[in-house]
């Protein structure tokens, strides 16, 4: 808003001439009106923060363990769940029946390559794993400009289709299986034109989200999310915080996963990620992610006796194919879901006087009005997840975050400038922050929550809270940052 | 796709000269009652633009149909069997998945596969509604909800829109009651209040009468599941190629249509009245929660969490990890319901007669076939019984504008409030209720209901020209077409 008004003033004065004194008067009036309009707004004290990021806590990982109180039957399949989450998928000819189906388009070849740090199930590791993947088996991919050796694993979406008008918003995978030796005959599928998308300003990025504690998030009751949303109404009003759920169609329950809370549950998420990120079609999403080139679709002409996908879906439940133990039964997507459901939340470090004060400041400045400290799960049929206090630091709602973070991709009821409050558990060992992984500095990540509105999007709901943070003493700021790095 | 076209038409016809140049011939042609039919779609679309009242007086409904509906073919059912080429191992678990689809759910969970009903629900088993002409199908002649709603002492009253010989309908609200906030979700007919296995639960049924009086109530009937496993594996690209074929004929007929894509993966959804669901797995899991209130691993949250009404730990059906159990006991309920619907064979049409053969020709001639695409072929599949099969579903699996007469005011994904998926016609030979809200049992009325002039809110139905062509057929050709439909 400020910028627009200033521009208008300058434009008007530039077009005035000496012979048009009334114009000067008009300009003066306009300028005066603009100044008054500016002064009537809440004072913007947004300045630079005084705290510094101590950086991610070193390994060993404070996450990645299964719940210690899983039943013995559940424990008995832990290894198989981990095996499937870390399996590397081939197009065909992989070492196991269950390791085929990659592509034709993909971002990576296994879940754990990206959900990697600080332990399997997490998010981007310090060294980008895609460099070890993109040309595997003779693939002729080039690395997109936005992937760097020490940058985050990010996926690309195009807000608009190539006509520049029609909304798109879907993931455009970085790589194809063209010329891989396990995809004989597939030679002509080309990568998307990321440079072109960049030059037409039609590309946005999203990074990997960690999955620890996801089983608890899935079970939190709707009524608890809503009553938390409706709590502290006066305080939220004064801070400029609103927020709303992103509801699932038909059943009307609240979606919880993904940067815009666009995913309902872990099965849904697994099914979608498997086909979107790896190109492995499954029982929830049984199509290959590009069907335009027949020679890039299964079945592939690999030699007899080699493992191959016979067709869609690439992966499915082995419904009684042969006498098998029950643990052989479910398809990959159920196993991924079970893996994530059974992963315990990250363990924070023991509080110090600094982090204790940091938590107090976190609440004083208002962070906790969105980053709600905890929810308790209801009674669950999965005993390890039943009535557990989950300290996730999220209200699981979406909020307007201003033009600075807006990515112009609406999803469900989440608009182009709205994002789910990212859970903060585990940020103590996190490397990359915000939806596009734009910073490794947690102080910058805080500051990036501030964004003044423009003609397209309103102010960030976090603006007042960030002002409050910046108005803290250096000590209090640092304690708050230390608290975050203790999570 | 059709919206920009409409807009173009707005601009073109907004000058008085063009208005006269377009409308005058239409009026004249209508007056002489000759080939006026050819102008109906254009006239109807112009009506949206120029002001409905002025234009609609210039457009009359096409002549009424002369054919009569021979009625549903009698039992035995022409559907309800499993695919014939399932492997011996898959056949082994047919009884288990059939049991699951037929299971009656009470409130209290006593094993990983039973219980979980409510707190809100439309019925207590899949098969009660997916019933006719065999398990897996759609509404039976006698409404089963009358034997469900008061079970175990439940204090439900029957909503006004459910009648003993009417279709099973579920209710959606356009807006949240008493507000202008869009809703669109299913509002279940019944609650578990008063049931002997739900003491302490005290929630009331939605106020359907008020919703109805405020024009806020939308009804949808049960869709059959036969052949669903074949529909879900059809390639997206085949759907798109079919959409892009015969474009000049479709343009003449006023037919456009577009897919309803799934959000993140961008594939084409195929199930539900607005093509809002991607696969049998998601459908089974969602229905289990929405229609019966059984929470599961895909939809783990109770729809109503009022204290005293959440009577089981969630999710109410889970993967069963007990060792030593049979393989087919392993998965949770939605996967079993998934396999049941995925493995159901398509309905078998009656043997063709000279009447139905000619009917099929007329079906093509009048243009029905440009939305009700005769067949698709499934690609190679990992489950061999589903792959490489030509399926005669009579649907293009995309959504079309159907005019204000059918519009239900609810947008779902990319399907607008007046758009519906082309309903597959396989099995309609034994179908009892037609259209999304089951408004008619007469298949000829169902055809006529495809015709709808535009108004200030919605454009004309894309089917107007085809219905007009149908009505212009000779009585014999009309009857043969209807007989063909009843042979499916």
What is the rounded distance in angstroms from the CA atom of residue A420 to the CA atom of residue A219?
Answer: 17
Model confidence at A28, in pLDDT bands (50, 70, 90)? low
> CA dist A465 to A356, B175, B220, B372, Å?
19, 34, 46, 56
**Bigger pLDDT: B23 or A40?**
B23
Q: Do B309 and B363 reside in the same domain of the chain?
A: no
The minimum CA-CA distance between B300 and chain A, rounded to whole Å, is 6
Model confidence at B112, in pLDDT bands (50, 70, 90)? confident
Burial of B30 (0-12, 13-18, 19+ CB in 10 A): middle
Mean pLDDT over residues A182-209, rounded? 97
Q: Which of B316, B329, B339 sits opposite A319 (nearest CB)?
A: B339
pTM for this prediction: 0.86
Instruction: Report the percent of chain B where pLDDT is more than 70.
Output: 85
For residue B185, which of A415, A247, A265, A226 has the smallest C-alpha distance?
Answer: A247
Taking each helix axis as running N to C, give the angle between helix A21-40 and helix A2-14, from 0 to 180 degrees, rounded to the nearest 10.
170
The minimum CA-CA distance between B148 and chain A, rounded to whole Å, is 21
Is the Cβ–Cβ distance between A285 and B262 less than 8 Å? Answer: yes
* Residue B322 within any structural domain of the chain: yes
Instruction: Report the percent of chain B where pLDDT is more than 90.
Output: 76
**Contact: B282, A326; criterion CB under 8 Å:** no
3-state secondary structure chain A: CHHHHHHHHHHHHHCCCCCCHHHHHHHHHHHHHHHHHHHHCCCCCCCCCCCCCCCCCCCCCCCCCECCCCCHHHHHCHHHHHHHHHCCCECCCCCCHHHECCCCEECCCCHHHHCCECCCCCECCCCCHHHHCCCHHHCCCCCCCCCCCCCCCEEEECCECCCCCCECCCEECCEECCCCCCCCCCCCCCCCCHHHHHHCCCCEEEECCCCCCHHHHHHCCHHHHHHHHCCCHHHHHHHCCCCECCECCCCCCECCECCCCCECCHHHHHHHHHHHHCCCCCCCCCCCCCCCCHHHCCCCCCCCCCCCCCCECCCCCCCCCCCCCHHHCCCHHHHHHHHHHHECCCCCCCCCHHHHHHHHHHHHHCHHHCCCCCEECCCECCHHHCCCEECCCCCCCEEECCCCCCCCCCECCECCCEEECCCCCCHHHCCCECCCCCECCHHHHHHCCCCCCCCCCCCCCCHHHHHHHHCCCHHHHHHHHHHHHCC
Phi, psi of A46 (to 5 degrees): -55, 110
The minimum CA-CA distance between B205 and chain A, rounded to whole Å, is 16
What is the rounded distance in angstroms from the CA atom of residue B77 to the CA atom of residue B347?
Answer: 9
**Contact: A219, B263; criterion CB under 8 Å:** no
What is the rounded distance in angstroms from the CA atom of residue A279 to the CA atom of residue A91?
Answer: 9
Average pLDDT, chain A: 89
What is the rounded distance in angstroms from the CA atom of residue B197 to the CA atom of residue B260?
Answer: 41
Q: Do B154 and B242 reside in the same domain of the chain?
A: no
**Contact: A312, B285; criterion CB under 8 Å:** no
Q: Do B391 and B436 reside in the same domain of the chain?
A: yes
Is the Cβ–Cβ distance between A462 and A450 less than 8 Å? Answer: yes
Q: How many CB pairs under 8 A join A and B?
A: 204
pLDDT at position B26 is: 45
For residue B488, which of B429, B446, B443 has the smallest C-alpha distance?
Answer: B429
* Residue B235 within any structural domain of the chain: yes
Q: Is the pLDDT of residue A258 over 90?
A: yes
Q: Does A247 touch chain B (CB under 8 A)?
A: yes
Q: Which CATH architecture has domain A221-255+347-485?
A: Orthogonal Bundle (1.10)
Q: Does A265 touch chain B (CB under 8 A)?
A: yes
Is the Cβ–Cβ distance between B276 and B413 less than 8 Å? Answer: yes
**Contact: B321, A73; criterion CB under 8 Å:** yes
State how far Cα A311 lies from the chain centre: 31
- Chosen from B274, B300, B318 to mutate, greatest number of chain A CBs within 10 A: B300
Tell me the chain A residues in contact with residue B109 when contact means C-beta distances shorter than 8 Å: 381
HSE-CB of A28 using CA atoms within 13 angstroms: 6
Q: Do B294 and B362 reside in the same domain of the chain?
A: no
pLDDT at position B30 is: 44
Q: Which domain holds residue B305?
A: 88-225+274-343
**Contact: B314, A380; criterion CB under 8 Å:** yes
Q: Do B419 and B338 reside in the same domain of the chain?
A: no
Residue of A nearest to B273 (CA): A250
Mean pLDDT over residues A170-174, rounded? 96
Write out the two tokens for A2.
């400020």
Q: Is the pLDDT of residue A113 over 60?
A: yes
Phi, psi of B60 (to 5 degrees): -100, 155
Q: Which of B237, B264, B327 sits opposite A292 (nearest CB)?
A: B237
For residue A402, which of A390, A391, A415, A393 has the smallest C-alpha distance?
Answer: A415
Q: Is the pLDDT of residue B40 over 70?
A: no
Q: Do B332 and B351 reside in the same domain of the chain?
A: no
Q: Do B317 and B454 reside in the same domain of the chain?
A: no
- The four Cα atoms B229, A411, A254, B177 give a dihedral, to 10 degrees, of -100
Model confidence at B64, in pLDDT bands (50, 70, 90)? confident
**Bigger pLDDT: B237 or A23?**
B237
Write out the two tokens for B70.
């021979």
Q: Is the pLDDT of residue B201 over 70?
A: yes
Looking at B295, B325, B343, the residue that finishes a domain is B343
Tell me the chain B residues in contact with residue A323 when contact means C-beta distances shorter than 8 Å: 327
Residue of A nearest to B1 (CA): A166
Residue of B nearest to A173 (CA): B265
Q: Does A106 touch chain B (CB under 8 A)?
A: no
For residue B314, which of A380, A136, A487 has the smallest C-alpha distance?
Answer: A380
| Residues in A 9-48 with any Cβ partner in B closer than 8 A | none
CB count within 10 Å of CB A188 equals 12
- Chosen from B232, B288, B314 to mutate, greatest number of chain A CBs within 10 A: B314
Q: Is the pLDDT of residue A212 over 70?
A: yes
Q: Is the pLDDT of residue A59 over 50?
A: yes
Write out the two tokens for B292.
């019966």
Q: Does A455 touch chain B (CB under 8 A)?
A: no
Mean pLDDT over residues B311-327, rounded? 75
Tell me the chain B residues in contact with residue A71 when contact means C-beta distances shorter than 8 Å: 321
Tell me the chain A residues in contact with residue B301 when contact means C-beta distances shorter than 8 Å: 219, 221-222, 253-254
Model confidence at A105, in pLDDT bands (50, 70, 90)? very high
For residue A361, which of A220, A483, A184, A183 has the smallest C-alpha distance?
Answer: A483
Residue owning tokens 């089974």:
B284
Does an H or E element contain B76, and which?
none
Tell me the chain B residues in contact with residue A248 when contact means C-beta distances shorter than 8 Å: 299
Q: Do B245 and B323 reside in the same domain of the chain?
A: no
Q: Which of B89, B263, B289 sits opposite A321 (nearest CB)?
A: B89
Looking at B311, B327, B343, the residue that finishes a domain is B343
Model confidence at B49, in pLDDT bands (50, 70, 90)? very low
Q: Do B40 and B138 reside in the same domain of the chain?
A: no
Model confidence at A236, in pLDDT bands (50, 70, 90)? very high
**Bigger pLDDT: A449 or A72?**
A449
- Chosen from A166, A287, A309 to mutate, greatest number of chain B CBs within 10 A: A287
Looking at B319, B343, B367, the residue that finishes a domain is B343
What is the rounded distance in angstroms from the CA atom of residue A445 to the CA atom of residue A439?
Answer: 7
ipTM: 0.85
pLDDT at position A47 is: 60
Model confidence at B173, in pLDDT bands (50, 70, 90)? very high
Q: Do B416 and B358 reside in the same domain of the chain?
A: yes
Number of structural domains chain B divides into: 3
Q: Is the pLDDT of residue A305 over 90?
A: no
Write out the two tokens for B276.
């809002």
Q: Do B351 and B467 reside in the same domain of the chain?
A: yes
pLDDT at position A23 is: 56
Q: Do B155 and B257 reside in the same domain of the chain?
A: no
Average pLDDT, chain B: 87
Radius of gyration of chain A (CA): 25
Tell me the chain B residues in contact with residue A287 when contact means C-beta distances shorter than 8 Å: 233, 235-236, 265, 267-268
pLDDT at position B39 is: 38
- What pLDDT digit, counting tens, does each position of A317-369 carry? 776 555 444 444 567 888 899 999 999 999 999 999 999 999 999 999 999 99
The minimum CA-CA distance between A328 and chain B, rounded to whole Å, is 9
Q: Does A338 touch chain B (CB under 8 A)?
A: yes
Q: Does A278 touch chain B (CB under 8 A)?
A: no
**Contact: A330, B233; criterion CB under 8 Å:** no
Mean pLDDT over residues B279-306, rounded? 94
- Chosen from A107, A286, A339 to mutate, greatest number of chain B CBs within 10 A: A286
Instruction: Report the percent of chain A where pLDDT is more than 90.
Output: 77
Q: Does A296 touch chain B (CB under 8 A)?
A: no
Q: Is the pLDDT of residue B35 over 90?
A: no
- Chosen from A165, A280, A284, A338 to mutate, greatest number of chain B CBs within 10 A: A284
Write out the two tokens for B384.
């061999």
**Contact: A250, B297; criterion CB under 8 Å:** no
Model confidence at B20, in pLDDT bands (50, 70, 90)? low
**Contact: A312, B381; criterion CB under 8 Å:** yes
Q: Which of B90, B263, B310 sits opposite A262 (nearest CB)?
A: B263
pLDDT at position B328 is: 39
Out of A54-58, A438-442, B335-339, which region has the weakest mean confidence (pLDDT)?
A: B335-339
Mean pLDDT over residues A375-394, rounded? 96
**Contact: B93, A386; criterion CB under 8 Å:** no
Model confidence at B113, in pLDDT bands (50, 70, 90)? confident
pLDDT at position A308 is: 77
């Amino acid at each position: 808003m400020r910028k627009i008004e200033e521009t208008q003033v300058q434009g008007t004065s530039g077009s005035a001439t000496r012979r048009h004194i009334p114009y000067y008067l008009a300009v003066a009036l306009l300028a005066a009106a603009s100044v008054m309009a500016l002064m009537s707004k809440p004072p913007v004290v947004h300045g630079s923060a005084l705290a510094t990021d101590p950086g991610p806590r070193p390994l060993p990982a404070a996450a990645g363990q299964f719940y210690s109180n899983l039943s013995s039957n559940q424990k008995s399949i832990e290894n198989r769940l981990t095996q499937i989450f870390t399996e590397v998928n081939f197009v065909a000819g992989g070492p196991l029946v269950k390791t085929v189906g990659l592509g034709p388009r993909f971002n990576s070849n296994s879940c754990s390559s990206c959900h990697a740090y600080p332990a399997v199930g997490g998010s981007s590791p310090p060294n980008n794993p895609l460099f070890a993947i993109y040309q595997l088996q003779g693939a002729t991919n080039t690395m997109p400009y936005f992937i760097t050796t020490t940058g985050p694993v990010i996926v690309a979406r195009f807000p608009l289709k190539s006509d520049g008008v029609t909304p798109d918003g879907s993931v455009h995978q970085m790589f194809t299986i063209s010329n891989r030796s396990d995809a004989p005959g597939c030679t002509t599928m080309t990568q998307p034109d990321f440079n072109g998308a960049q030059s037409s300003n039609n590309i946005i990025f999203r990074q990997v989200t960690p999955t620890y504690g996801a089983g608890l998030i899935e079970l939190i009751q709707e009524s608890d999310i809503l009553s938390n949303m409706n709590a502290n109404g006066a305080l939220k009003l004064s801070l400029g915080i609103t927020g709303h759920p992103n509801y699932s169609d038909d059943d009307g329950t609240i979606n919880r996963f993904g940067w815009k809370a666009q995913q309902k549950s872990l099965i849904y998420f697994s099914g979608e990620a498997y086909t979107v990120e790896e190109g492995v079609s499954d029982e929830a999403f049984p199509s290959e992610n590009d069907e335009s080139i027949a020679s890039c679709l299964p079945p592939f002409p690999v030699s007899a006796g080699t493992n191959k996908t016979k067709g869609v879906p690439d992966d499915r439940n082995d419904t009684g194919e042969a006498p098998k133990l029950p643990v052989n039964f479910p398809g990959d997507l159920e196993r991924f879901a079970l893996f994530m459901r059974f992963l315990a939340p990250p363990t924070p470090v023991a509080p110090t006087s600094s982090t204790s004060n940091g938590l107090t400041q976190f609440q004083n400045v208002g962070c906790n009005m969105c980053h709600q400290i905890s929810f308790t799960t209801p009674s669950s049929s999965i005993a390890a997840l039943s009535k557990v206090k989950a300290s996730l630091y999220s209200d699981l709602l979406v909020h307007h975050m201003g033009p600075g973070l807006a990515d112009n991709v609406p999803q469900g009821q989440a608009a182009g400038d709205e994002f789910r409050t990212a859970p903060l558990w585990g940020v103590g060992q996190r490397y990359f922050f915000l939806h596009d992984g734009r910073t490794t500095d947690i102080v910058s990540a805080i500051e990036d929550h501030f964004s003044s509105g423009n003609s397209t999007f309103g102010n960030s709901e976090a603006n007042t809270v960030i002002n409050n943070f910046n108005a803290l003493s250096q000590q209090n700021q640092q304690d708050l940052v230390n608290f975050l790095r203790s999570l | 796709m059709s919206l920009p076209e409409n807009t173009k038409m707005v601009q073109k016809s907004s000058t008085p000269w063009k208005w006269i140049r377009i409308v005058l011939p239409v009026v004249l042609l209508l007056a002489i009652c000759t080939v006026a039919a050819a102008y109906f779609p254009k006239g109807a679309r112009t009506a949206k633009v120029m002001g409905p009242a002025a234009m609609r007086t210039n457009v009359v409904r096409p002549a009424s149909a002369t054919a009569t509906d021979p009625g549903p073919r009698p039992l035995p059912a022409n559907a309800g069997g499993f695919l014939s080429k399932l492997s011996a191992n898959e056949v082994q678990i047919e009884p288990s998945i059939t049991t699951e689809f037929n299971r009656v759910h009470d409130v209290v969970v006593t094993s990983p596969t039973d219980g979980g009903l409510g707190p809100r629900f439309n019925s207590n088993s899949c098969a009660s509604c997916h019933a006719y002409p065999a398990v897996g199908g759609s509404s039976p002649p006698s409404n089963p909800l009358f034997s469900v709603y008061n079970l175990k002492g439940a204090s439900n009253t029957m909503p006004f829109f459910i009648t003993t010989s009417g279709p099973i309908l579920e209710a959606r609200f356009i807006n949240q009651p008493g507000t202008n906030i869009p809703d669109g979700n299913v509002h279940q007919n019944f609650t578990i209040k008063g049931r002997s296995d739900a003491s302490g639960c005290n929630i009331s049924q939605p106020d359907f009468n008020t919703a109805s009086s405020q024009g806020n109530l939308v009804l949808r009937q049960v869709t059959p599941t036969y052949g669903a496993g074949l529909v879900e594996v059809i390639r997206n690209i085949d759907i798109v190629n079919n959409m892009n074929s015969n474009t000049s004929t479709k343009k003449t007929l006023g037919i456009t249509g577009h897919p309803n894509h799934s959000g993140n993966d961008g594939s084409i959804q195929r199930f539900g009245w607005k093509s809002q669901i991607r696969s049998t797995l998601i459908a089974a899991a969602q229905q289990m929660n929405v229609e019966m209130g059984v929470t599961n691993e895909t939809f783990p949250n109770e729809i109503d969490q009022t204290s005293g009404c959440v009577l089981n730990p969630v999710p109410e059906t889970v993967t069963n990890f007990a060792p030593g159990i049979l393989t087919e006991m392993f998965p949770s309920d939605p996967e079993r319901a998934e396999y049941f619907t995925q493995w159901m064979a398509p309905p078998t049409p009656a043997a063709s007669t000279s009447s139905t053969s000619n009917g099929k020709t007329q079906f093509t001639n009048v243009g029905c076939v440009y939305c009700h695409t005769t067949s698709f072929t499934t690609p190679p599949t990992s489950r061999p019984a589903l792959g490489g099969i030509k399926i005669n579903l009579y649907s293009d699996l995309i959504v079309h504008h159907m005019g204000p007469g059918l519009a239900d005011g609810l947008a779902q994904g990319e399907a607008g409030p007046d758009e519906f998926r082309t309903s597959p016609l396989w099995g309609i030979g034994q179908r009892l209720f037609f259209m999304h809200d089951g408004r008619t049992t007469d298949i000829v009325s169902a055809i006529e209901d495809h015709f709808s002039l535009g108004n200030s809110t919605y454009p004309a139905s894309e089917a107007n020209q085809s219905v007009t062509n149908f009505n212009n057929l000779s009585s014999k050709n009309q009857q043969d077409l209807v007989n063909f439909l009843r042979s499916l």
